[in-house]
Every structure is written in structure tokens, then in C-alpha cells.
Structure 1
Amino acid sequence: MTQAFASEESEALSFEEAAAAASSCSREFRADPHPVYATLREAAPVCPMSPPHGVETYLITRYDDARAALADPRFSKDMYGALDAYHRIFGDSSIALDDNMLFSDPPKHTRLRRIVGSTFTPKRVEALRPRVEQITAGLLDRCPTSAPVDLLPEFCFPLPLQVICELLGVPENERQKAQEWSATVAKTGFGPEARAKLEIAEGNLREYLVELCARKRREPDDGLLSALVTAKDQEGALTDHELVSTAWVLLFAGHKTTAYQIGNTVHHLLGRPEQKAMALKDASALNAAIEEVLRFETSVENATFRHATEDVVLRDTLIPKGALVQISLAGANRDPEMFAEPNEMDVRRPNVQATHLAFGFGPHYCVGAPLARLEMQTALTTLFARFPRVARAGDPGEARWMTVPFPAFRGLAELPVVLDPS
């Protein structure tokens, strides 16, 4: 596959080329966005953009700026405070699913996060470990060993999807349709046909989650969704919209980002045998490798939108009140002012877990990070222990990356491997 921005060795892009690529979200940019971010870090670390959704946007690509912006209260996550922009980007139907902690500011965000955090505890997550191990083994049992298999649909996606569905209490026979609707929401563009598909998927999701919450009220279990229903009914801590929307964000964020990150990690380790060997020395080395790939190729390329609640000057650039702010976690995580040789993957890189921004920073730091780490550790440990000779099927240089209408996620479109080449 030809990649216009294919590697660190390719000729540097001009600012005009980089800004146009980031604004248009071209296929070449999606194939390899890192040279674009490298150019913008130098030429325009706070870059005005003209993205397809048509809303004035500023892209932040340097580490220090990104870290500060993630915690800056002047950059609001409450998209209801920017309704015109919200409607133009997401359409009217999305509001019914976006009344949650991801799209809110304190004190509402504090309240919603406390409720989720009180049930999404480290103890509850750790108690899932045996079940995560069981699910992981079962998925690999079903994979062919000598013929090529695409790990994304057969392993990377089903693992976190099954885990979050069990944690929430989604019945097994209903998980596939929820995943399909979620996939439509993640990949929808800005044209009329795409918007129509989005409205149908979001309507189906909302109807399903309303009905599922009603079932949990009638027949409670020990799942997270039942706990949220109880918090709403007994404590009055959630509105009807907040309950459904919180269930949605946990379902969506609880599997898609982790699935892509498992795929990214397998892909990069298979392409670097020496790095893979170092990563598989012991559990500590594998955990360090996971954190390095989170830095090097995070599945959350850009943080979810914020908007400026007042005029903000950042690096001599005025971000006007009402403009959208897009924070590039991928750009920040390869900032040479923060990370030595940032375009090199080094599984022995020190202190990377404490410094990378893959899970965000500040009040909106990912509440599901412990679960994501548990799933990645289990997936990689089991995969490489059972199939130590697993290899890419085909040329790793021909990897196809997912194309999306705006760069929220960074993940492979496919991950073909042969589990046992012997």
C-alpha cells in the first residue's frame, strides 16, 4: 500500500501539506499521521483547521500543551454548551446518548464519575481476572492455528466486548447487535447517507438500553448496570437520560479502544522480533512493553472534543470563544521534547507509564484504564505463551489502518496472522 506520509525517513512535509492533511483527514494521513503531527509540532503546535464537519477547530500537538489543555477548565467537555457546533458535528440524534461523564464538566462530571467509580472499583476489576483469562483462552481455542486468521474480529474485539458486557450484565445473545450498532456510530461520516445510518443506529441503541435498564430494575443482578439502576432509583443520583447515556459510554469505550490497542500492540511486536523477545522475558517486561505501545501507537489518537468557553491564547495563537479544541494524544506522545527518539519503539523505555497521555490526563483520565490494562496483559500473555511462533500473514509493511471521518481512533483494519506456522 502506498503511503504518502509513510515513514520517519520520508521527506519532511511543509506546513501547508500537514495542515491540509490533518484538516481533510485524507486516506494517506490515516495510513500514517505521525509525520503530519511532527510537522505541526514544529510549525504550528496550535493549528487552526478546517475539518469536514465545518466547525472552527484548533489542533494541539505538543506534549506540554496537550497535558495542560486536558486539565484546563476553559476548555469545556460539555458539548451542550456548544449546541450549534454539536449539532453540526454529531447531528440531533446523538444528544440522547451523550448525557454522560465524557461530555460534561464539574460539578456534573464529578457526580457522574463518582457514581461510576464507586461501582467500577479496582477490586471489582481484579475479581474479573479469572474470567478474562477464561474468555481469552476460549477465543484462542476457536481460532485456526495453521491457516491465516484475522485476529481483530476473532480475538481483539470479542475479548473486551465480552468482558464489558459481562461487567455491565448484557446477555450473551444480545451482545453482537449492540456491537454492530456501536461500530456504525464509530465510523459514521458527515454526509446525509452516513447521518441517516447514524440516526438509526443511535435510535436502536437507545431503545435497547432503555429496555435493558428496565429489565435490570425488574430483575437485578450483580452487574454494573444494575448498580447504576439502583443508584438512580434509591439515591436519585442519575436522571433517566444519564443512566442510559452512562450505560452507552461504558459499553462503547469499554471495548473499542482496548480492542484496537491489543491489535496495535500485537502488530508492532510482531514487526520487531528483538523488541518482542525483550517484552516476553517476564510479566514486568510485558507490562512495560504495553505502556510503550500505548505511547508509540495509542488507539485513542485524539481526545474527545472540547470547546473554548472564553478566548484563550496558547503559544501566541488565539483560540476564540466557541471554537472546538482537538488534543492530539498521538502527537503529544511522540514529542521529542518529552521523549527521547520518540519515533522509535523501545519496550525498555523508562517511566513511560507515568508520562504517556494515552489514557488522558486530569479530571477526565480514563476511568477504565485498570480494566484495559488487565485485558491487554491477559491477551498478550496468553497469545504469546500459547503461540510463541505466531507470525504476520503477508507483508507487515502492507498493514491497512482503519479510515474514519475524523481521527478519534487509531487502529488496524485487519490483523492477519498464522498462529502456528509449523
Structure 2
Amino acid sequence: MTEQSAPLRTDPPHTDPSRTDPSRTDPLPIDPSGSDIHAEGARLRARGPVAQAELPGGVTAWVVTDDALARSLLTDDRVSKDAYLHWPAWENGEGELARSWPLASWVAERSMINAYGGDHRRLRKLVAKAFTARRTAALRPTVQTLVADLLDDIAATTPGHPVDIRGDFAYPLAIRVICELLGIPHDMRADLFRVVADMFRTSATLEEVQATGEELHGLMTALIAHKRRTPGDDLVSALIAARDDEESAGLDEVELVDMVLLMIGAGHETTVNLLDQAIHSLLTHPEQLRLIENGDASWDDAIDEALRHEAPIANLPMRFAVEDIEAGQVTIAKGDALIISYSAIGRDPAVHGADADAFDISRPTRQDHISFGYGVHRCVGAPLARLEASLALPMLFARFPGISLAVTTDRLQPLESFVSNGHRTLPVLLKQA
């Protein structure tokens, strides 16, 4: 291993030996490929509601797996998402982590997802205008048309040949909807979303991450230049207008680029994974699908249970302690990094019972999840993701009532990510009504 690629290490989280089991203080290594997210979450939970983990590159962080603790921390002003202000190891983006850490992009962006306090309120206010109930409702006919068109496309598949329902249905649907909302030109979409998808691959090497970042910067610069020349009634144009016309209240140029990137990445990945996991869960639990068909449960029930059971974003880096925080039997010290494990929290037995690992759309606690986040950073696009799922799922199963998996579940491969929770492909066989 070369000196340049040697693991980077930050100071370990602070623990009080008198209150912590010494045998459990060694950080649990996180698998960057996300090969078994739920088993990893269970191992972390066994260590307590918040446990130490070692991220790719040797960076140590606390991982929260307890629902109640997560809700408390996500609404605590002593928890920040701004690495520049509250993570000493980041060295204001000028140190070794910024240069060599494979996950640096997750904390380096200057968008609302990493903002704190007044900066977060300023940035979120600008974006929230695009995700009003009125604007989301206005997209319903567009989403219905897109779903119908995609179903027509996959219906043309040669009988007996598998269809990748993620790649050929869930992905293009989410992409086209977010492109309509953001106003992304057709000739820019393929390259842009190919590169954005690479961002979620947490198993990527440092060289791959750097190459992705350079290409992405070029694409974003071209997109913003295009929208400046030809503005429209879309979110990117609105953000540019805020930047160019209201200097004091708008975005600086770095914030503009990073905010558009956030909208592109977060605006489609969650929806794709939600559809992917919901379809997979219903196909592998036909008795649950029959509950819907018989009128004993609704599609909304299935959507909530899919969100709980398979959180689309499994683990979200990172947050930072603004000051010392007492959390159960440990002290999260000022400057320590935290990760909220939404996938583990969705299966917290303290909330969902001993059968929390089971998929059950009639579960009384199916709505008691925080898979879209919680507190001030709750996903502003959650209503849009729900709208897409509420239209796509019933239309898919009505068009292809005999749909089935083309391979057994053990042959499905997860995304190479401990952040994004989905399958690389989801091959199915179709049977039309």
C-alpha cells in the first residue's frame, strides 16, 4: 500500500470506560460494498443504541441504530451537518481528508444537506418553494403518462425474456420526473445521471472518485451555463435567478452548483430504491400482495412498509457533535462524527417488535419510520417520491398481474454502496392481463 493510499484515521469517539463495555470499544468496520446492510446494522445494534464504526479510509464515526435516539439527535441543535464548522478532522476542507478520503464528497458539498442553522434555513427555503403540495399535485398527470409509456415499452419485451424492472422502469421513471422538475435538457441527461450514479458507489477507489468529481463538475458547469442562456419554469432556473438577482439572499456559485447536484442525486435515487425494494418485497411475499388485491390493505400501506423494511438510503454520512452529548452509556464528544443508520432504525425491535425483520404491510407500526429523514433535514422531495410510488406500483401490477422474479433472491446483487439501498438489477418475467 502506498503512502498516498494509506488509510486515514481520525481520533476515535470518546467513551467513558466506567460506563462502556471495554470489549466493545473497537470500531466495527463498515463494508463499503454494502454486501449485507441489515446484518451489519444488527451487529451495530447489538453493541448499543449508538456504536463506533470504522468507515472506508479509516475514519471513525458513531452509528445510531436506535429509533428514539435518532429522533432525539436529529432535532438537537447540538448536532450539525456542517463539516467546515464542526468537524475538526476535516480541517476546513484543506487537510488530508479532503484530498484523499474516498467519501470526502459526502461532506464537502456546500448545499442544504450539509448546512447548519441559519445557512440551512436560507438554502432550504429556496428549494422548498419547488416542492409545494400544489407543484407536486400538478405533476400527477405527467407521472401517470410516464408510467403508462414505460409499461408500454416493457410490454414489448419478447415473451419469456426477463425485464430489469429497476433499470427499465423504476430508474427511467424517477429520472424523467426529476428532469421535468429541474428542467434538464434531454441531451444532457444520460451523461449526468451516469456520473451521479457513480457518486453512490461507496466501494469506489480514490482515483475513481476523483475522476467522477472532475467529470461531474464539467457537466454541472455546462448545465448551469445552458440554463442561464435559456431559463425556463423549472427549479434550476429558479435557483440561478436567486443566485444572479438576489445576491444578498441567494446562493453563491459553489452553493448553486452543489444545490443542483443535490436535487439531481437525492431527487431520483430514493425513488428508484423505493420502487425497486417495494416490487421485490411484494413479489417475494405474494400473501402481502393479495391483501391489497382483496381490499384488506392499501398501496399506501405497502409503500410505508417498504420504506420501513428497506430504507432507500441505508446510512447517511455525516453529522457532527457541536458539543459533548450524553447518549445512553457513552459520550459523543464535541467534534465526533455521526451516521444515522436508517436501515437499522427501520428494523428497531423496540418500535416494531421481535418480527421487525419481516415484511408485513398490515403491521401497526408501518408508518412509524423515519426513512425520509426527521427534523429540519427531512427530505423535501418525500411527497414527490410517494406520488411516484402510489401511481407506479398499482399500474405495474394491474398491467402485469402475473409478474414474477426471474431469479431467486439469493442471486440478486446489492448496489455497491452502504448508503444507497437497492439492487444492481431486478430481473422479472412479465405476464400481461
* SS class of match (1:388): coil
Partner of 2:49: 45
Deviations 1:119-161 (A, max 9, x none): 2222111111111111112122222162111112111111111
Q: Secondary structure at the match of 2:311?
A: coil
Offset of residue 312 of structure 1: 2.0
AA aligned opposite 1:164? I
Rounded to whole Å, the distance in 1 between the matches of 2:30 and 2:365 is 35
For the 8 Å contact 2:297–2:361, the answer to whether it is kept is no
Residue correspondence of structure 1 range 13-412 to structure 2 within 5 A: 23-25=29-31, 30-81=34-85, 82=87, 84-85=89-90, 87=98, 89-90=101-102, 98-143=109-154, 144=157, 146=159, 147-189=161-203, 194-236=205-247, 237-281=250-294, 285-340=298-353, 341-350=355-364, 352-353=366-367, 355-404=368-417, 407-412=418-423
1-structure distance, mates of 2:37, 2:210: 29
TM-score calculated relative to the size of structure 1: 0.88
Question: Match of 1:48, as an amino acid?
Answer: Q
1:70 and 1:92 mapped to 2: Cα distance? 22
**Letter aligned with residue 112 of structure 1:** L
- How many Å apart are 1:79 and its aligned residue? 1.8
Distance verdict in 2 for CA 1:283–1:83, change over 3 Å: farther
Q: Could you say what the CA RMSD is over the residues aligned between the two structures, in angstroms?
A: 2.6
Does the CA-based 8 Å contact 1:45-1:62 persist in structure 2? Answer: yes
Equivalent position of 2:428 in the other structure: 417
Whichever residue aligns with residue 49 of structure 1, its letter is: A
Q: Distance in 1 between matches of 2:416 and 2:60?
A: 22
Q: Determine the C-alpha separation between the residues in 2 that align with 1:93 and 1:116.
A: 21
- Alpha carbons 2:297, 2:362 under 8 Å: kept: no
Output the CA distance in 2 between the equivalents of 1:94 and 1:291: 27
SS in 2 for 1:303: strand
Measure the CA separation in 2 of the matches of 1:171 and 1:234: 23
Number of residue pairs matched by the alignment = 399
Gaps of 5+ in 1: 1-14
Instruction: Provide the C-alpha distance between the structure 2 equivalents of 1:158 and 1:247, rounded to a whole number of angstroms.
Output: 19
In structure 2, list runs of 5 or more residues that go unmatched.
1-20, 91-96
**C-alpha offsets along residues 304-340 of structure 1, whole Å, 9 cap, x if unaligned?**
3112222222112122222210111111111111113
Letter in 2 for 1:255: H
Preserved contact between residue 61 and residue 327 of structure 1 (Cα < 8 Å): yes
Identity in percent? 35
Normalised TM-score (structure 2): 0.85
Mapped partners of 2:324, 2:79: distance in 1: 10
**CA distance, structure 2, for counterparts of residue 166 and residue 43 of structure 1:** 45
Deviations 1:336-394 (A, max 9, x none): 111133122111123533x2010010000011100110111121111111001100002
* Cα separation, 2, equivalents of 1:280 and 1:234: 52
